[in-house]
Structures are given as structure tokens and as C-alpha cells.
Structure 1
Amino acid sequence: MTALSGEKHLTVAYRRWLISPNDIVFDVWRLAPDGSMADMDRQLFKAAEALKGRPFDHVVLAYHGVGRFMIDGAHFGVIGDSWSYQNPIFIVRTLPENVSDMTGKPAFETWTGGLLGVVSQQMEDHNKLHEQWYLRAEAGLTP
């Protein structure tokens, strides 16, 4: 179990069920009052970079130990490999289409069409991802 330090939010990364070598959990435990979704994205992407080269089946996005979403391990690896050179906005806006619910079904759509419309929908999905992952629960609302 590793707490990711030096960041605004307290997140912990650990093996699923504490023993699974193929799945890791990125678990949000505390949010900074002045933190943002961008801060959380950065923590997730830095974790991907720190773990690059290690194969995982899934990365579970959790809040207080409860899994909300999963990222395919291969895509998590792509994030880790590309974090140092890729435009962070590209990683942010394409993240939701690579996230599934806890049953493995896609949680968000893959958008096609004109650039402005696609980017707008992707960013809306990004906001929904954060709301459903931890923001609503942190506010005492149903996720």
C-alpha cells in the first residue's frame, strides 16, 4: 500500500484485495479543500508514470475503498508511457472513453464528429467521471 505524497489530495494505491498482482486500486481518501479535478488527474497520471512497464489487468478507481470505475491495465500503461510528453489535455479528455464500470461495461461513450463537439462531450464526460468517482460521495450525495 502506497500513499501518494506531495499532492493536495490523499490517495492510496494498493493491490486489489491487498493480494492481487494483476489489479491495483487508486483509492481517494481525502480531498483538499482547494484541490481540483486537475489535481486528481495529475495524481492518477503520475501514478501511471511511476508504474509504467508493470503489467496490470485493471486499475480500479475507488473512493474510501469502494470501487467506482476501472481502467484497462493496457490503457493505464499507455498513460504512464505518454505522460512525460503527451499533451495533458489529450490524456484528460480521452480518459473517460477508456473507463468501464465495475461490471466491465464502458462507462462513457466514444465520441465522433466535429472537433469542437467531440471535445465538448469528452470534457463533459470527464466531469461526470470525477463526480461519480468521488465528488458526489464527498459531498454526501449518492454517487
Structure 2
Amino acid sequence: MSELTTILVPIRYPLRDESARTLATAGRLAHDNAPADLRVLHVNLYQTGDATQTEELTQSISSTLDGVEASVTTRRGFLVEEVILEEATQIGAEFVVVGSSQHPRWRNLLRRLAGNDPAIATYLRENLTDKIEIMEVDAAARAPAVQAD
């Protein structure tokens, strides 16, 4: 019996098309790496008063995963990227699947200069071990293009 491949996919809620595509990509990755332990993570931000419940998130994603089973977790935190980093490390993820930023270039630049840009894929690449592969999904594309490390 082979070991499970652990895949973490952080998503925003409520699900928008971009999040659904990122989730679908993670589902295909789990299917291709069976047996896999697919973990869906949503971060409730303290500063926005977000209070998404695990149960409502589970109901929302079930149709997106097309039969692939996943466990769903919600965590509270101030910085999305730090919560994702902590979760990936804690569960021993081999893959982290994230959506690419959907903001125009000028807006991304302003957010980075203001220190308010969760460049999640970049942050994870800089802070996770080489054993964890970061997959960035171009969630704006109709057929998601995946960029892996």
C-alpha cells in the first residue's frame, strides 16, 4: 500500500469562478496522484470579520471536486500567506495549489509598495522547503494553465 500524497488548496469563500478553477485543478491533481489526501483551506481574516464555517464551505465545494474527497478546514489569522505556510508545514503537504493574482499589474505594484499584497505563491516559495511543490493556477484562463516549481 502506497503513502498518501498530501495536497493543500487554499481558497476564498464564497467561491468565485477563479476559486472553483483552482479547486478543480487540485481535484485533478489528487485524482492523478491517488491515493491522495486533498485538504481545502479557507482563512477567516480577523481584520475583515470573516466567519465562514467549515460546514458551509464543505457544501459549496462538493460539486466542484467531481467525486474527489477532500477534508475542509477554516483557520483564523491576520495574514493569509502565513496561515497557509503554517498549515502546509503542519500537515506535511507535498503540493500546495494556489490561484494566481487576478489584479492588474499597476494595482499589484501599488499593493506591494503599500505592503498589502498577499503574493501567496511567492511567499510560499521563499518560506517552504524544496520538498513542497507550489502549483500556481492561472484562474482567469478558461482551461487553467498550471505553473509548477
Normalising to structure 1: TM-score of the pair?
Answer: 0.29
Greater RCO (CA < 8 Å, at least 6 residues apart)? 2
Greater helix share, 1 or 2? Answer: 1
